[in-house]
Amino acid sequence: MAAAAISGGHLVLSTPTSTRRPQLLPIHPPSARPIAASSASAARRGVAAAAVSSPAAVPSTGKDGKQVPKDFLHINDFDKDTIMKILNRAIEVKAMIKSGDRSFQPFKGKSMAMVFAKPSMRTRVSFETGFFLLGGHAVYLGPDDIQMGKREETRDVARVLSGYNDIIMARVFAHQDILDLAKYAPVPVINGLTDYNHPCQIMADALTMIEHIGRIENTKVVYVGDGNNIVHSWLLLAAVIPFHFVCACPKGFEPDAKTVEIARSAGSKIEITNDPKEAVKGADVVYTDVWASMGQKEEAEYRKQVFQGFMVDEALMEMAGPKAFLMHCLPAERGVEVTDGAIEAPNSIVFPQAENRMHAQNAIMLHVLGA
């Protein structure tokens, strides 16, 4: 949780016209020890988006002469070796932090702007604390501080914040916002979440799998619930590292078809089904998320009806088998998409998973800052 990276242009989100979430159309898309990536590296994907204006950071060039992305926007912007290098770095730096050693201060004298169009406890605390523990200072900008795209254009915000800070993290609604920030910011931009994907969360999940299962490759991960941004992020990881991914969701709530095809075309086994009981059999990980995400709360009661039979409870975990771990990206609506008993069971790794947000993100920041 070693290698040149690749990047790619991605998608523009459309505005939802019904209660269904927007159509998302990507153009590309126990104590752990560091583990080695396999020799077969993933295929290169596209060209890095150029930084605009200001004489600061631009994408660097890898050994093969291709540009290495300055930003962390989608997991499949990078090859397998790079993703594994980041995850291995997370393991190493986590061990140092847990030991109480505070001598590693790579971010000393650096500042990070954290832009939150969507509020979040985990994203704010994990980024802010992690950056601080490694010597840096983070500035929180809440939904009313900038109103990016309303009070001030995203391209202007990107260049202004880059003049004050060494790195930008943004948690936004529209995926185009993070693409625009990265396009115009001369400093690295990290995707803290969009309606399309949540790469930092899945990097934390991958780190957690390495710690508890020992690997990511050739595992079976079963997601039960809405085919949302978490599912898209799992699919983009499957486009880089081969594993069996199943999304069990109600009809009409499937993930974006083009993102599914990206993962399948890379060689991972991908299944989309409407039968969670059959899907979870033999799973290494059973994963769920809230049925109505932020911005969909007016659909919550409707979704509770549609998603009947998709709750992860003790009975479903028993069907999965004795080796299955439960994961949830949180916050959880206990008694809705997951039961209290399931989330508190010995095979639940939900809270180590939540802690790993900080450690995975530390490694991501180290990577994009070249530290």
Q: Per-residue pLDDT for 156 more than 70?
A: yes
Strand partners, 191: 170
Domain 80-197+357-369 has CATH 3.40.50.300: no
- To the nearest whole number, what is the mean pLDDT of the chain? 87
- Of residues 260, 253, 296, the one with CA closest to residue 276: 253
Q: Rounded to two decimals, what is the model's pTM?
A: 0.84
The 10s digit of each residue's pLDDT in 273-326 is: 999 999 999 999 999 999 988 667 688 899 999 999 999 999 999 999 999 999
What percentage of residues in the chain have a pLDDT greater than 70?
81
Calculate helix-pair angle for 350-368, 80-98, nearest 10 degrees: 110
DSSP 8-state code for residue 307: T
Class assignment of domain 199-292+302-355? alpha beta
Average pLDDT over residues 14-27: 39
Average pLDDT over residues 34-43: 42
- Of residues 253, 335, 320, 326, the one with CA closest to residue 282: 320
What percentage of residues in the chain have a pLDDT greater than 90?
77
225 burial (CB, 10 Å; 0-12 / 13-18 / 19+) is buried
Q: What is the pLDDT of residue 60?
A: 59
As a whole number of angstroms, the distance between CA 264 and CA 31 comes to 32
Q: Per-residue pLDDT for 155 more than 50?
A: yes
As a whole number of angstroms, the distance between CA 125 and CA 162 comes to 22
9 burial (CB, 10 Å; 0-12 / 13-18 / 19+) is middle
Contacts of 64 by beta carbon, 8 Å cutoff, 6+ apart: 4, 44
As a whole number of angstroms, the distance between CA 185 and CA 146 comes to 16
Q: What is the pLDDT of residue 298?
A: 80
For the chain, which residues make up each domain, given as ranges? 80-197+357-369, 199-292+302-355
Active site residues: 329
The 10s digit of each residue's pLDDT in 43-96 is: 322 322 322 222 334 455 555 556 679 999 999 999 999 999 999 999 999 999
Q: What is the pLDDT of residue 68?
A: 77
Q: Per-residue pLDDT for 10 more than 60?
A: no
- The reply to whether domains 80-197+357-369 and 199-292+302-355 share a CATH topology is yes
